[in-house]
Chains A and B, each alone.
Chain A
Amino acid sequence: MLRLTVVSALRRLLQAGLVVIGATFLLSLLLRLLPVGLEDLYVVGENEASRKAFAHELRLDRDPFTYYVLWLWDFVRGDLGWYVQGGGLSEPVSGRLSRALPVSLQLVFYAQAVSLVVAVPLGIFTALRAGRRSDRALSYGLFTASSIPNFVFGLLMASFFGVTLAWFPPLGYVAPTENLGEHIRSMVLPVAALSFPLIATYTRLLRTDVIATLREDYVTMAVSKGLSTRRILFSHVLRPSSVTLFTSFALNMGALIGGTIVIEQVFTIPGIGQEIGIAIFSRQFFALQSYVALIAVGFIVFNMLADIVVGFVDPRTRERRSA
């Protein structure tokens, strides 16, 4: 049984590797197909010789495939390319990334954590009261909330809680190492904006799942054996339900990274979303390629981990999945 799991995990790993290569190659190809040649964008210089030398340095004289292989080799070794300015390399992408990435990761993890902390009790509550008025009110409310784009929440909260009430800073970021209290305060609004739709998603998911599980025979049996509701909930219902939740959690990482781009914009948070925006607007396509590639890799790795972990935790899913 365990060996089967390991084999399927390895297969997932292999597949993830293929997806990574495919995604990064696609990006690389897109870049080379840019309507404005990269040469025209970056290669300026006093004379033909220096222009040629620089084009060579940027590998723009290579064919797209060689270019990609060289890029991948660099990427794997942690060399994410350079910002190019005024006909020269100005700054390594990795330098900026190392400042921006932790900020975005914090945002994403806080949002996930907050969403789960809120959604789990809500989900159980609504499931236990399924069909009653409180459940319906909450469900509709959450459904409505999940339909409102997070940037709208962001804008409204920045104005109301940030300025009118001035409870939290409406923009900016403070590192936890600098001032923990301020760090938390600066994260409240953006995390809240990111969490709203997630809370709704998780709650609905958990509600459906818990309702379904409650109908399972073994739960009915536990009830008939006279076990307390709490006991049943925790030992028989939550564990299988949490698997679905965990899968959704992992799947939402990608959406969340997309969401942070807008939220970072709304709250002026110096994360990877802002770096992507800057890369697009200052036409730093090499940097853009690395950032998007990195996000894709992160997303793929997360999905793969989720799959593998779910496989280990709940053999049923593994069988279902391999079908």
Chain B
Amino acid sequence: MRRLLGGMDVFTRACAGWMSLMVLLAVVGPFLPLPDPREADFEASAVGLFSPGHVLGTDSNGYDLLSNVVNGARTSLMIAFVSVVVGGALGAAIGIVSAYRRGRIDRVVNLLFNIVLSIPNLVLGLALVAILATSSDPSVVISPSRRVVVIMIALTCVVLPVLGRIARGATLTWINREFVVAARSMGMRDRHIILRHIVPNVLPAIYSVGFLAVGVVIVAEGALSLLGVGVVDGVSWGAMISRVAGEFTFVPHSMYVPVTVLALTVIASNQLGDYLRSRLDLREGRL
């Protein structure tokens, strides 16, 4: 960790700082003394920055922007982290095992990855959300939390093959290294070889691409919201942007606030991913 921090330039440090701040807000957000992000202030709609009681102002409906940014971080980052972690873990596991086994399994897995990758990620996300968020029983309403879960599942499906392919590629390069070949010839069990020798070497690649994927997922959440299939009823950055997209000509700050936060977060996660990649000297493809 210290080694990683030591090599950071100012920009990367700022990015790491921003990312930490966002994660912190996501965690402690609900405990901060902020207005309820879902409750409008009937007396103060569309007030500007630094208004009394509303540090970042309110949008035209009277929702407190700071509260929405802070609480939105929770949803947006949770969606991003969950889909990247789950997608990354599953993808890495599948990718490593299939590359290690080679042969037919590997060909099938590779084909499956290619199949899912052949559908552009936003199109795939959109189709999955449209299909999964349709409730079968009219009396059962889809709750906001189920929507979040559906979006997570859809975006996990998007992330999985990307990271899976990276893991597979990285494994293929490590598998012929002397120490792996030696371990194999010594009759070491496959599980041990994978866990001891391959996973530690493949993980850095996953980390760096994972950071890039966080940015992609955050943007995808925003795009889905804008298309009307996001966390529309929840509190997220995408929901904020889609809510004010139509109004920023007359309440401009309500647009600039969430867009700035979202863009900074994406920049930060991209930079961190890039930094990790250069530190670990990886030359994998970008998302």
Contacts and interface: CB of A to CB of B under 8 A. Distances in A.
Q: Are A and B subunits of one complex? A: yes
A258 B123 contact: yes
A36 B121 contact: no
B73 to A, nearest CB: 17
Contacts of A283: 134
11 contacts: A23-B116, A33-B131, A147-B215, A151-B226, A155-B248, A201-B286, A251-B285, A258-B120, A258-B122, A261-B122, A261-B126
Given A23-B118, A36-B135, A255-B120, A15 B226 contact: no
Contacts of B120: 254-255, 257-258, 295, 299
Interface stretch (B58-66, B179-187, B255-263): B255-263
Given A22-B111, A27-B127, A152 B263 contact: yes
A17 to B, nearest CB: 11
Nearest to A261: B122
Interface of A: 15, 18-20, 22-23, 26-27, 30-31, 33-37, 140, 143-144, 146-149, 151-152, 155, 159, 163, 201, 251, 254-255, 257-259, 261-262, 265-266, 276-277, 280-281, 283, 285, 288, 292, 295-296, 299-300, 303
Interface stretch (B42-50, B85-93, B203-211, B264-272): B264-272
B223 A19 contact: no
B248 to A, nearest CB: 7
B136 interface: yes
Contacts of B248: 155, 159
A70 B233 CA distance: 39
A247 B226 CA distance: 30
Interface in B221-247: 222-223, 226-229, 241, 245
Among B119, B241, B245, B259, which residue has the most Cβ atoms of chain A within 10 A? B119
B118 A30 contact: no
Given A27-B127, A30-B127, A155-B245, A148 B266 contact: yes
Contacts of B255: 155
Contact of A255 (B118, B121, B228, B266): B121
B152 interface: no
Contacts of B111: 15, 18-19, 22
B271 A143 contact: yes
A264 to B, nearest CB: 10
A298 to B, nearest CB: 9
B263 A149 contact: yes
Contacts of A152: 241, 259, 262-263
B149 to A, nearest CB: 14
Interface string B132-165: 1011100000000000000000000000000000
A283 B135 CA distance: 13
- 7 shortest interchain CB distances as A-B pairs: A258-B122, A258-B120, A22-B115, A35-B136, A147-B267, A254-B120, A280-B130
B15 to A, nearest CB: 10
B282 interface: no
B119 A35 contact: no
Contact of A34 (B122, B134, B226, B227): B134
B267 A280 contact: no
A145 to B, nearest CB: 10
Contacts of B226: 151, 262, 265-266
B188 interface: no
A144 B270 CA distance: 9
B84 interface: no
